[in-house]
Amino acid sequence: MPIQKFKRIMRAIQGALIVASTLQIVLGFSGLWRNVTRFLSPLSAVPLVALVGFGLYELGFPGVAKCVEIGLPELIILVFVSQYMPHVIKSGRHIFDRFAVIFAVVIVWIYAHLLTVGGAYNDAAPRTQAICRTDRAGLIDAAPWIRIPYPFQWGAPSFDAGEAFAMMMASFVALVESTGAFIAVSRYGSATPMPPSVLSRGVGWQGIAILLSGLFGTANGSSVSVENAGLLALTRVGSRRVVQISAGFMIFFSILGKFGAIFASIPGPIFASLYCLFFAYVGAAGLSFLQFCNLNSFRTKFILGFSIFMGLSVPQYFNEYTAIKGYGPVHTGGRWFNDIVNIPFSSEAFVAGCLAYFLDNTLHRRDSSVRKDRGKHWWDKFRSFKGDTRSEEFYSLPFNLNKYFPSV
């Protein structure tokens, strides 16, 4: 029975997520990840943060081009409203800054619905209809009005050592990528560089979120949303109060099945257009750390160039190999071992970040000029939570960025 197979798969995913959550919980709350991130410098942060954003290029314009008559207008309108309108109509500049996404999505969504009801896709290929139409497969009609999720809704989780180890490696890759996204968020939130203790604590709470995902059977874990990091840059809204209120709305509306189905009916190319800006902003946050580095140093150039190039090249090889062969380059009798090796090398941010981190902390470390070349002296005061008074202001609850940045 398909439903029984589905529940069996969900229970296996639940068990793997529950086990994998312990990795981030232990690394985060024990302070082990704090000891790792203490050796991060602006130089090693550049490839990590940059490829957290730029490494997701496959979700950008290729997704727009799948239905170009919808995706391209969305991209153009979003750029125009967010970047040009605030300078054309100065009296409402903050409105266009903060609500550009809503304006653009609503306009193009209505346009896409008019194309759908007008019969523009009636004779199109099934794949085109699935991507472009706003009334796909009776999604709204099939959704329940109210559905309250509860723990173990698919039954008692099942645990398998191989699946658990594979999920733990995926969790570790997400941990590294989330570290880069954390840094980007602090950058766009006009906060100080994150003290390692604060970053480690965030990783621990991310592990708690993965545990909850496993308990409730969400079929996927939790990590920092790169899209929301880019949205922070686009809207310039960094107040915790805004995040808390929006989280409350999301929890409330997630119970209303029809409401979620309406948003799920938004054509994918619209989201792909948003990604073109969001991921670009996150990648640019990584490049912004170059201002702290000595770009005239050949050591700096080698670490930057080699780590970024390999961060793009190695995952490309793994992904191409998997697409052609149907399995990764590492193909042994143990599927769990294959996943442990193939998963990390398929992540651009993971490969670039780990390579830059290793080279930056091992290559000519004893030279007197290296510390300034890598920009480490700029972050020295923030190594300790109490090293700078601003750290306590930014990373202690309760806190509202509006107090310090009225434009945020």
pLDDT digits (tens, 9 = 90+) for 283-320: 999 999 999 999 999 999 999 999 999 999 999 999 99
Cα separation, 95 vs 115, in Å, equals 29
Q: Domain segments of the chain: what residues?
A: 2-143+160-386
pTM (predicted TM-score): 0.89
Give residue-wise pLDDT tens across range 240-299. 788 888 888 888 878 887 777 788 788 999 999 999 999 999 999 999 999 999 999 999
Q: 221, 170 in Cβ contact below 8 A?
A: yes
Cα separation, 103 vs 78, in Å, equals 8
- pLDDT, residue 407, reads 38
Residue position matching structure tokens 């903060």: 98
Residue 70 has pLDDT above 50, yes or no: yes
Determine what percent of the chain is predicted with pLDDT higher than 90: 57
Give residue-wise pLDDT tens across range 86-141. 888 877 778 888 899 999 999 999 999 999 999 888 888 888 888 998 886 566 77
Give residue-wise pLDDT tens across range 164-219. 999 999 999 999 999 999 999 998 987 888 889 989 999 999 999 999 999 998 88
Q: 42, 373 in Cβ contact below 8 A?
A: no
The candidate with the shortest Cα–Cα distance to 221, out of 7, 16, 8, 1, is: 16
The candidate with the shortest Cα–Cα distance to 120, out of 106, 133, 105, 101, is: 133
Q: 121, 132 in Cβ contact below 8 A?
A: yes
Q: How many CB atoms lie within 10 A of CB 352?
A: 34
| Amino acid at site 354 | C
Give residue-wise pLDDT tens across range 24-60. 999 999 999 999 999 999 999 999 999 999 999 999 9
- Burial of 263 (C-beta count, 10 Å sphere; 0-12/13-18/19+): exposed
Determine what percent of the chain is predicted with pLDDT higher than 70: 94
| Amino acid at site 10 | M
Tokens coding 377:
């002296």
Q: 231, 45 in Cβ contact below 8 A?
A: no
